[in-house]
Amino acid sequence: GLSWCEYTLNVMFISICSKSKSVIITLPYLLFLQGWVRSVRPQKDNLFLHVNDGSSLKPLQVVASTHLNTRYLTFGCAVDITGTLEKSINKRQNVELHAQHIKVVGECNPVVSLYFKNESVRENR
Protein backbone atom coordinates (compact mmCIF):
# COMPACT_ATOMS: atom_id res chain seq x y z
CA GLY A 1 0.00 0.00 0.00
CA LEU A 2 0.89 3.63 -0.26
CA SER A 3 2.23 5.54 2.67
CA TRP A 4 1.82 9.29 2.68
CA CYS A 5 4.93 11.34 3.20
CA GLU A 6 5.99 14.91 2.44
CA TYR A 7 3.33 15.90 -0.04
CA THR A 8 2.96 18.71 -2.50
CA LEU A 9 -0.38 19.90 -3.80
CA ASN A 10 -0.58 21.06 -7.39
CA VAL A 11 -4.13 22.01 -8.39
CA MET A 12 -5.91 18.70 -7.70
CA PHE A 13 -2.91 16.38 -7.85
CA ILE A 14 -0.79 15.18 -4.98
CA SER A 15 2.55 13.43 -4.95
CA ILE A 16 2.65 10.48 -2.58
CA CYS A 17 5.67 8.31 -1.86
CA SER A 18 5.35 4.59 -2.41
CA LYS A 19 8.39 2.77 -1.02
CA SER A 20 11.05 3.78 -3.57
CA LYS A 21 9.12 5.87 -6.08
CA SER A 22 6.73 8.82 -6.20
CA VAL A 23 3.33 8.47 -7.79
CA ILE A 24 0.82 11.13 -8.78
CA ILE A 25 -2.78 10.64 -7.73
CA THR A 26 -5.96 12.58 -8.37
CA LEU A 27 -7.95 13.82 -5.40
CA PRO A 28 -10.16 12.54 -3.90
CA TYR A 29 -8.24 9.28 -3.46
CA LEU A 30 -9.21 6.19 -1.45
CA LEU A 31 -6.42 5.54 1.07
CA PHE A 32 -5.60 2.95 3.73
CA LEU A 33 -3.45 4.43 6.51
CA GLN A 34 -1.70 2.62 9.34
CA GLY A 35 -0.15 4.74 12.05
CA TRP A 36 -0.16 6.11 15.58
CA VAL A 37 -2.54 8.70 16.96
CA ARG A 38 -0.75 11.89 18.02
CA SER A 39 -3.90 13.78 19.09
CA VAL A 40 -7.66 13.26 19.39
CA ARG A 41 -10.10 16.20 19.33
CA PRO A 42 -13.74 15.15 19.56
CA GLN A 43 -16.27 17.85 18.73
CA LYS A 44 -20.04 17.91 18.40
CA ASP A 45 -20.30 16.51 14.86
CA ASN A 46 -16.73 15.59 13.93
CA LEU A 47 -13.72 13.86 15.36
CA PHE A 48 -10.29 15.23 14.45
CA LEU A 49 -7.17 13.07 14.72
CA HIS A 50 -3.54 13.69 13.92
CA VAL A 51 -2.00 10.42 12.78
CA ASN A 52 1.64 9.70 11.97
CA ASP A 53 2.73 6.62 10.01
CA GLY A 54 6.46 7.23 10.46
CA SER A 55 7.10 8.29 6.86
CA SER A 56 7.13 12.00 7.70
CA LEU A 57 7.60 14.33 10.64
CA LYS A 58 4.23 15.89 9.82
CA PRO A 59 1.07 14.16 11.02
CA LEU A 60 -1.89 13.75 8.69
CA GLN A 61 -5.18 15.23 9.86
CA VAL A 62 -8.03 12.72 9.87
CA VAL A 63 -11.62 13.94 9.96
CA ALA A 64 -14.28 11.44 11.03
CA SER A 65 -17.84 11.31 12.23
CA THR A 66 -18.13 11.20 16.03
CA HIS A 67 -19.81 7.78 15.78
CA LEU A 68 -16.37 6.34 14.87
CA ASN A 69 -14.97 7.41 18.26
CA THR A 70 -14.38 4.70 20.90
CA ARG A 71 -12.83 4.75 24.34
CA TYR A 72 -9.81 2.93 22.89
CA LEU A 73 -9.08 5.72 20.39
CA THR A 74 -6.51 7.61 22.46
CA PHE A 75 -3.14 9.33 22.16
CA GLY A 76 -0.49 6.77 21.19
CA CYS A 77 -2.78 3.98 20.02
CA ALA A 78 -2.10 2.21 16.72
CA VAL A 79 -4.84 2.51 14.10
CA ASP A 80 -5.89 1.28 10.67
CA ILE A 81 -7.92 3.94 8.86
CA THR A 82 -9.68 3.71 5.52
CA GLY A 83 -10.94 6.90 3.97
CA THR A 84 -10.76 9.43 1.21
CA LEU A 85 -7.76 11.75 0.90
CA GLU A 86 -9.16 15.16 -0.03
CA LYS A 87 -8.03 18.74 -0.42
CA SER A 88 -8.34 20.51 2.92
CA ILE A 89 -10.34 23.70 3.39
CA ASN A 90 -8.01 24.54 6.29
CA LYS A 91 -4.95 26.64 5.39
CA ARG A 92 -2.75 24.71 7.86
CA GLN A 93 -2.58 21.58 5.70
CA ASN A 94 -2.99 20.81 2.02
CA VAL A 95 -4.88 17.54 2.41
CA GLU A 96 -6.81 15.61 5.02
CA LEU A 97 -8.16 12.08 5.27
CA HIS A 98 -11.95 11.77 5.60
CA ALA A 99 -12.30 8.49 7.47
CA GLN A 100 -15.00 5.95 6.72
CA HIS A 101 -13.56 3.26 9.00
CA ILE A 102 -11.23 3.44 12.01
CA LYS A 103 -9.93 0.32 13.73
CA VAL A 104 -7.77 0.48 16.86
CA VAL A 105 -5.23 -2.31 16.40
CA GLY A 106 -3.06 -1.49 19.41
CA GLU A 107 -4.18 0.21 22.59
CA CYS A 108 -1.93 2.63 24.44
CA ASN A 109 -1.36 2.32 28.17
CA PRO A 110 -2.93 5.47 29.70
CA VAL A 111 0.00 5.87 32.11
CA VAL A 112 2.50 5.89 29.22
CA SER A 113 0.23 8.20 27.25
CA LEU A 114 0.01 10.66 30.15
CA TYR A 115 3.80 10.60 30.60
CA PHE A 116 4.51 11.50 26.97
CA LYS A 117 1.84 14.23 26.91
CA ASN A 118 3.40 15.82 30.00
CA GLU A 119 6.91 15.60 28.51
CA SER A 120 5.80 17.30 25.27
CA VAL A 121 4.16 20.10 27.26
CA ARG A 122 7.43 20.69 29.12
CA GLU A 123 9.43 20.79 25.86
CA ASN A 124 7.09 23.37 24.32
CA ARG A 125 7.50 25.87 27.16
| For range 110-122, the mean pLDDT | 55
**Cα–Cα distance, 110 to 28 (Å, whole number):** 35
Backbone angles phi, psi at 82, to 5 degrees: -115, 130
**Cα–Cα distance, 86 to 91 (Å, whole number):** 13
How many residues are there in the chain? Answer: 125
Q: What confidence category does residue 55 fall into, taking pLDDT thresholds of 50, 70 and 90?
A: confident
Distance (Å) of CA 113 to CA 2, 36, 108: 28, 12, 7
Going from N- to C-terminal start, the domains of the chain cover 29-124
Q: What confidence category does residue 36 fall into, taking pLDDT thresholds of 50, 70 and 90?
A: very high
**Cα–Cα distance, 80 to 42 (Å, whole number):** 18
The set of residues, in sequence order, having a beta carbon less than 8 Å from that of 119 and lying 6+ positions away, is none
pLDDT recorded at residue 18: 47
pLDDT recorded at residue 112: 57
Q: What confidence category does residue 13 fall into, taking pLDDT thresholds of 50, 70 and 90?
A: very low
C-alpha angle 39-105-20 in degrees, rounded to nearest 5: 80
Backbone angles phi, psi at 24, to 5 degrees: -105, 130
- Residues 81-101 have pLDDT tens digits of 999 999 888 888 888 999 999
- The yes-or-no verdict on residue 49 having pLDDT over 90 is yes
On whether the pTM is more than 0.85, the answer is no
**Cα–Cα distance, 26 to 110 (Å, whole number):** 39
3.30.70.3450, 3.40.470.10, 2.40.50.140, 3.30.930.10: CATH of 29-124: 2.40.50.140
Q: What confidence category does residue 25 fall into, taking pLDDT thresholds of 50, 70 and 90?
A: confident
